[in-house]
Amino acid sequence: MRKYVFLDIDGTLFSPELGRVPESAQEAVRQARENGAKVFLCTGRCLAGCNKYLRADVDGFVFGAGSMVYAERKRIYDQPLSKEDEDLLKQLIHAADMGYVAEGQAGGYCDEFGYDVLMRYFAGDAETGDERRRNLWDNCFYPEYYEHPEEKIYKVCAYTRHGTSFEKLRQSIPDRFTLTVTVRDPEFDDCAEITNASITKATGIQRVLDYYGASIEDSIGIGDSENDIPMIRFCGVGIAMGNAMEAAKKAADWVTTPILEDGIRNAFLKYGLI
């Protein structure tokens, strides 16, 4: 039976240490598709933040942790936040003394602290401030004054400094939202995404499977952070990267090697995709 493979990007495909996707992962995706698998990028990033991946060797995308879905170049699901909810989340994040980025169709729009965090995250091997800024803009993240009033926003990410907690923010947000920690890394400031509580990566995956008339048993999900847990639990086979958060590993059926140790390739070999 044809397999439907859903791959997270950050920490699963994209390595901030390398500043790119490892070659072994690129080759594994190419071979799997040649062997008949359908491969989708299933990411917390919104459409604009995936600018560099829109021509990737894949069959579609689940953007914004499930809030926008493309299959065969068609948008089959679209559920942005309301402008009122976007403004509320920004206010609550600042009240908790944190930074943010609001992620939408045309770009991700950062306050000063969020912009500084992402400058470092996307630095790669850039040595100068201008080179880092160019890397950031190449990934469609901008200062918040670039946001158009009619831009659709799908999630808001909060950034906190090391040694502080997201609990104050978690307790302040209404129940219609979910706060999920996505980055805990000693080299970067911690990140949590705030999304519609009724939408997860599993929501987007179900839309894809419905589109193809496929079953859950034929799906494979691979990720590394807490926002991947709904995907890992939902798919017929759920795989965590070797560098994944412990909660993601506990939810998985199997744990592959880390991203820089051919994690995607080894997972594809394990489950007969290549």
Query: What percent of the chain clears pLDDT 70, i.e. is strictly above it?
Result: 97
- Is the Cβ–Cβ distance between 217 and 86 less than 8 Å? no
Q: Which residue has the tokens 């390398």?
A: 18
Residue 84's pLDDT is 97
pLDDT in tens, 204-241: 999 999 999 999 999 999 999 999 999 999 999 999 99
Torsions phi, psi of 14, nearest 5? -85, 130
CB atoms within 10 A of CB 10: 22
Q: Residue 22 half-sphere exposure, CB side, CA atoms within 13 Å?
A: 18
Give every CB contact of residue 225 below 8 A, 6+ residues apart in sequence: 8, 10, 11, 44, 180, 181, 182, 183, 244, 245, 248
What value does the mean pLDDT take over residues 105-122?
91
Domains in the chain, start-ordered, CATH in brackets?
A: 4-78+199-270 (3.40.50.1000), 83-196 (3.30.1240.10)
| pLDDT classification of 16: cutoffs 50, 70, 90 | confident
* pLDDT confidence of residue 187: 59
* DSSP codes joined into one string, 142-200: EEGGG--TT--EEEEEEEE-TT--SHHHHHHS-TTEEEEEEEEETTEEEEEEEEETT--
152-211 confidence digits (pLDDT tens): 999 999 998 766 788 899 999 999 999 998 877 655 568 899 999 999 999 999 999 999
The pTM of this model reads: 0.87
Average pLDDT, the chain: 93
| C-alpha count within 13 angstroms, C-beta hemisphere, residue 190 | 16
Question: Residue 183's beta-bridge partner residues?
Answer: 191
The pLDDT, as a whole number, for residue 188 is 57
State the Cα–Cα distance between residues 156 and 178, nearest whole angstrom.
Answer: 11
Answer for the pair 167, 75: CB distance below 8 angstroms, yes or no.
Answer: no
Q: Please tell me the predicted confidence (pLDDT) of residue 5.
A: 98
Q: What is the pLDDT of residues 30-81, one digit of tens each?
A: 999 999 999 999 999 999 888 888 888 899 999 999 999 999 999 999 999 9
For position 162, what pLDDT does the model report? 64
Q: What is the pLDDT of residue 163?
A: 60
| Bridging pattern class, strands 237-240 and 254-255 | parallel
